[in-house]
Structure 1
Amino acid sequence: MKPELLPRSGRMEAVLAKARFSIKEAARKYRTFNISSANHDQKIRSYVPYGPIYRNANVFYRSYQEMERVFKVYVYEEGEAPIFHNGPCRSIYSTEGRFINQMEKGNHFRTKDPEEASVYFMPFSVVVMVQYIYEPGARDMHAIGNTIADYVQTISHKHPYWNTSLGADHFMLSCHDWGPYTSSYVPLLFNNSIRVLCNANTSEGFNPLKDVSLPEINLKTGELTGLLGGSPPSQRSILAFFAGGLHGNIRHRLLDHWKGKDPDVLVYEKLPPNFTYESMLKKSKFCLCPSGYEVASPRVVEAIYAECVPVLISDGYVPPFSDVLNWNKFSVAVAVEDIPSIKKILLNISEAKYLKMHKRVKQVQRHFVMNGDPQRFDLFHMILHSVWLRRLNLQLHHATL
């Protein structure tokens, strides 16, 4: 069954078609893009993407400009806080609350007119649902899943937009581990909608073609104070560092092999009292980022904040913004089965290559910073850009059940 293309949808598709053409032109002209043109734009609009941290800096820049020009988000007003229109702005779930908060403010990309929207945001918080309606110790998540199903039913009956696209131009955002599963209570939400998830696990149905990998950031105080920056490379005396609990099989394997075994690879379950976690990050060359019970880990962004090269140890994790960022240029991926070879792998990275990677981590840092008032190319905008890309990939008259 194909949804009928409404006149509004036709107008929106025409706008998006022009944006797609502009971006394709940027890709075609990539070889003519040079640093002088980047410098010219940089004088006008501050930062201009450049260098190998991007898959294609010119295409990303053109896409970002098109997003700024035409992208509009309608935020549904149904539902009451705190479960809707709210979320935690500190702790391990801070990404979720900060994004909802910024969209609710309405200063960036939000439109009050659903007729001109490119996408529709469903501002519910799985984290808050767990706090308010989940019964501790329960063996199922029916209360959360049914709440989401009731919510989608409400907006689909009150507005025409969900039914027009079968949910394909709608998005949700969740940093809780249960986000993917609870979305399955609405099959169209699970299969069609854009799901922005910290738990970006391909084994649990995460689809990189339509879903967005959301960075997990642990803001203990809600602020970035003291988290950004670190020692220069010449003063980083630790080859590799990790500290964390035994959450999941990967960390068990890491600690079993490396805990207390090597002065170059410092792996702790609990840090000694005279050490601080942040100081260890800031004086390490490489920071080990193993998955816990789920694939996401705040250690990836903690490493980037501390200008420490992330070492991703995971199975099925899609790193954030992978359609734009070339993670191979500023991080190291280690397969789970290669955990015993971590030291050998890292020592085989030449000093010259490490220095390049360190420099690139500093450059990519801006894309993971959560500013109180969003700034161009920061985390808030990168999340929206990922949603924008998935909306560009969608043509409503091709949507099917």
Structure 2
Amino acid sequence: MAMFSIITIFLLTITTVTGNNLYLSPKTTFSNYNTMLSTFKIFTYSATTTTTTTTLFTTPQESQFHNTLLTSHFTTQDPNHAHLFFLPFPPSTSMRSLARLIKTIRTTFPFWNRTLGADHFYLSAAGVDSSSDRNVVELKKNSVQISCFPTASGMFVPHKDVTLPPVHSFQGVSSVNHTDTPSYLGYMRLTDESHPTLIKEIKNHPDFKVELDSTNKKKKFVKSSRFCLFVYGSDMTWMVEALASGCVPVVITDRPIQDLPLMDVINWSEIAVFVGPTGGAEGLKRVLDGIEKSRYERMVEYGVAATQHLVWNEKPQAHDAFHMVVYQLWLRRHTIRYARWVEQ
């Protein structure tokens, strides 16, 4: 009881400081979160069933989520009490091996056939590709995929799948720069050639700074910039660090983004700007110059507040990345369970 009292006070502090616009459903998010903490249960298939090893994953966020989940109070040894079922398998698993795995789960346990896999989830950094095999089709179509942001085109199903926030060097809230005359309007690391004309224009524009190396000079540029530029699909691993530093992310994209981390929780339009590549550097500058000071300051405030939900802690803390990813799984626990097959 004491733990939940502390959590409630903490949540009231968050909403008082940042307001409600940061969250998509502020009235229900935190009450649901508290319910999740006390009731949510996940069953993990054993290593012998899924032929897993201790070195399952290739990205730090996958390993962090996996290891934290297995030692958390959300796991249960009784599958009859589980809301969701976790399918761990190595990232190198071929489509044929994956099909055999699902077939084994289907025939060995009664749970898959109740929902055709809709109450199951799995980790795959790059996502599971399409297949003609029934077992893989059901996995990709019905089960919740947890992949790494950003995902490749065609590898993510909106409103079903979830992405993990990137692991970054963010340690506590950095000092936020509120100067009216920043050194740079925007900062960008040149890691993508999807829009070479735009990037060339930005490189040659006096109000934008492009940095080629990844040394600590990056932090100086981030803190002295009003906006940090990202090309969607390229290196976005330090976007959370930019938010923590008070630098508003500007994501250059030629299509709607549907795989943002914690997209069921955070109102990303309140902490980031999304622009197309067709306007060139001057068009981009006009968009950013057109953001009113009050809105910009609100985006900075909300962005700093959002980082508590995007940071991975070695020891999990309330409302951090691990808990908010689990919360998104909790939101997906309501599935249609088909009648069990009755042998004649």
Cα contact 1:311–1:331 (8 A) shared by 2: yes
State the 1:110 CA deviation: 1.0
**Residues 184 and 99 of structure 1: is their aligned pair in 2 closer, same or farther, counting only changes over 3 Å?**
farther
Cα contact 2:120–2:143 (8 A) shared by 1: yes
- 2:177 corresponds to 1:232: yes
Distance 1:228 1:80 in 2: 41
In structure 2, list runs of 5 or more residues that go unmatched. none
Aligned pairs (5 A) from 1:286-301? 286-292=227-233, 297-301=236-240
The corresponding residue for 1:361 is 303
Q: Number of paired residues?
A: 324
Distance 2:272 2:170 in 1: 22
State the 1:147 CA deviation: 2.9
Deviations 1:22-68 (A, max 9, x none): xxxxxxxxxxxxxxxxxx96685423452210122111112212211
The corresponding residue for 1:262 is 205
Distance 2:144 2:132 in 1: 13
Q: Which runs of 4+ in 1 moved over 4 A?
A: 40-45, 182-185, 199-203
The corresponding residue for 2:250 is 311
Which stretch has the larger CA shift, 61-70 or 232-241? 232-241
The corresponding residue for 2:129 is 181
How much identity, in percent, do the aligned residues show? 29
The corresponding residue for 2:76 is 111
The corresponding residue for 1:348 is 290
The corresponding residue for 1:302 is 241
- 2:317 corresponds to 1:378: no
Distance 2:51 2:336 in 1: 32
- 2:5 corresponds to 1:63: no
State the 1:171 CA deviation: 0.5
Compute the TM-score of the two structures, normalised by the length of structure 2. 0.83
- 2:269 corresponds to 1:328: yes
The answer to which structure has the higher helix fraction is 1
The corresponding residue for 1:13 is none
Cα contact 1:203–1:316 (8 A) shared by 2: no
The corresponding residue for 1:194 is 144
State the 1:390 CA deviation: 1.7
Compute the TM-score of the two structures, normalised by the length of structure 1. 0.72
- 2:195 corresponds to 1:245: no
State the 1:384 CA deviation: 0.7
Deviations 1:185-216 (A, max 9, x none): 61001101111122565951522221113323
Distance 1:57 1:201 in 2: 27
In structure 1, list runs of 5 or more residues that go unmatched. 1-39, 130-142
State the 1:349 CA deviation: 1.0
Cα contact 2:162–2:328 (8 A) shared by 1: yes
Cα contact 1:200–1:206 (8 A) shared by 2: no
**Residues 333 and 272 of structure 1: is their aligned pair in 2 closer, same or farther, counting only changes over 3 Å?**
closer
Give the alignment partner of residue 146 of structure 1, picking from 75, 78, 96: 96
CA-based RMSD of the aligned residues comes to 2.9
SS in 2 for 1:258: helix
Distance 2:105 2:177 in 1: 52
- 2:208 corresponds to 1:208: no
Deviations 1:330-385 (A, max 9, x none): 11111232443111111111222211111111111100010111111110011111
Distance 1:180 1:233 in 2: 43
**Residues 155 and 398 of structure 1: is their aligned pair in 2 closer, same or farther, counting only changes over 3 Å?**
closer
**Residues 108 and 239 of structure 1: is their aligned pair in 2 closer, same or farther, counting only changes over 3 Å?**
farther
Distance 1:324 1:373 in 2: 22
State the 1:238 CA deviation: 2.0
SS in 1 for 2:11: coil
**Residues 154 and 203 of structure 1: is their aligned pair in 2 closer, same or farther, counting only changes over 3 Å?**
same
